[in-house]
Structure 1
Amino acid sequence: MVKEVIVKANIYDEKMKQKAMKVVSELDGIQFISVDKETGKITLIGEMDPIDVVNKLNSYNKWPCRNWLHASLESVGPKEEEKSEKGSEKREDA
């Protein structure tokens, strides 16, 4: 099942953004990655385990920046298109 996962992380500059994208791109099943350094949110779409995403980001500890991302799961849900398709089906039936 394709889902949308939003992870909150300590991303404060372009270098951190690039490192975060590199780390999560190594995971299988990811179709889309978006990193917003203004809010510190990483949005992933695909067939992946959300816990694996957070663990991968948190395990990327390189000295001297231990826990440099400190990722936490913000939300998990179906992909936006799937949400709107389900909503339109309900409207047609009514």
Structure 2
Amino acid sequence: MTSKKHLNPVALIYFIYKILAEWLWIIFIVFASAFSVFKNLHLSLPMVVTIFVILIVIVSIIRYTVFTYEIGPEMITINSGILVKKHLHIPYQRIQTITQDQMFF
């Protein structure tokens, strides 16, 4: 069995995109409801946006770090999860179709 491997580092862009897609409505609600709170704390809009961008980048780096895969002689193993660890074992005999969707990376 091979050692655990990570995706290409350019995949961080994909992880950032996925986090933005998942959190977009949460970010909108926080901005809409807490805008007056930010003003009371003397936080400007660019500062708040910068904080959200830093949080998104940190979370995507953590997701990238914990996502690993192994290609063995009998199966592919995918390990992921930050708080809840997931181990997906895919035996080669169970693979029926392979469809490849390649992003630019």
Which structure exhibits the higher relative contact order, with contacts defined as CA atoms closer than 8 Å and separated by 6 or more residues? 1
Settle same-fold status: TM greater than 0.5. no
TM-score band by shorter chain is under 0.3
* Higher relative strand content: 1
TM-score (norm. length: structure 2): 0.25
* Higher relative helix content: 2
TM-score (norm. length: structure 1): 0.27
